[in-house]
Amino acid sequence: MSKVVVQSIGVSLDGFAAGPDQSLENPLGVRGPELMEWFFPTKTFIEQHGGEGDGETGIDDSFAAASMKGKGAWILGRNMFGPVRGPWPDDEWKGWWGEEPPYHVPTFVLTHHSRETLEMKGGTAFHFVTGGIHSALEQAREAAGDKDIRIGGGPSTIRQYLEAGLIDEMHVAVRPLLLGKGEPLFHGLDMRGLGYKVTEMIPGERAVHMIIKRAV
């Protein structure tokens, strides 16, 4: 049965899932890449992005690999697609990932400003949704069939879906660092009151992996 999932989200000990001041030079925000330093050395990441060497296998890589499998659709906040704000000036910006993004399935981008569907190499099609989180999820369910739908972020988008009780399962990779400031993941949410609980804690090479599920 299809699930709505969040996976491979790096979180600091003080609760931030992105750094401040996102820009073209800092797509994850200032110091944001430190949150994903568990992910970058893995075999999964290096194979996706054409890096040198074979990459590391192990617990971190097993979570990274699982996060990319079995997805029928993705949902992204606009900041995850790019740094452009306000109305789209043109169709020049096509995402952070080059001509072939890593999704390979229909991907729904939340935005307040309409834009034509963007077809990319490898099967990724970016659909720009102006109707909000419920509209995006309805379209993603139709596209995904019996496969899972991954909410790819950023933190604000994840919080909206959590608050609405629409996420079935989360994988959070807790990093041993204090970011100080940035975009929090759980701020303002009563996760317990929303019916979520931690079901697993698995130490990896560079992060502690937490599995959070919503009671059925």
Distance between CA atoms of residues 23 and 209, nearest Å: 28
Regions of the chain short of the pLDDT cut 70 = 51
pLDDT for position 88? 94
Distance between CA atoms of residues 37 and 10, nearest Å: 9
pLDDT for position 124? 97
pLDDT for position 216? 73
Tokens for 202, please give them: 């698995």
- At what angle are helices 155-163 and 133-144 packed, to 10 degrees? 90
pLDDT for position 54? 87
pLDDT for position 155? 96
Contact 20, 29 (CB under 8 A): yes
pLDDT for position 52? 72
Cα angle at 7 between 4 and 9, to 5 degrees? 130
pLDDT for position 158? 98
Domains and CATH numbers, the chain: 4-19+29-83+99-214 (3.40.430.10)
- How many angstroms separate the most distant Cα atoms in the chain? 45
pLDDT for position 9? 97
Residue with tokens 């400003």: 113
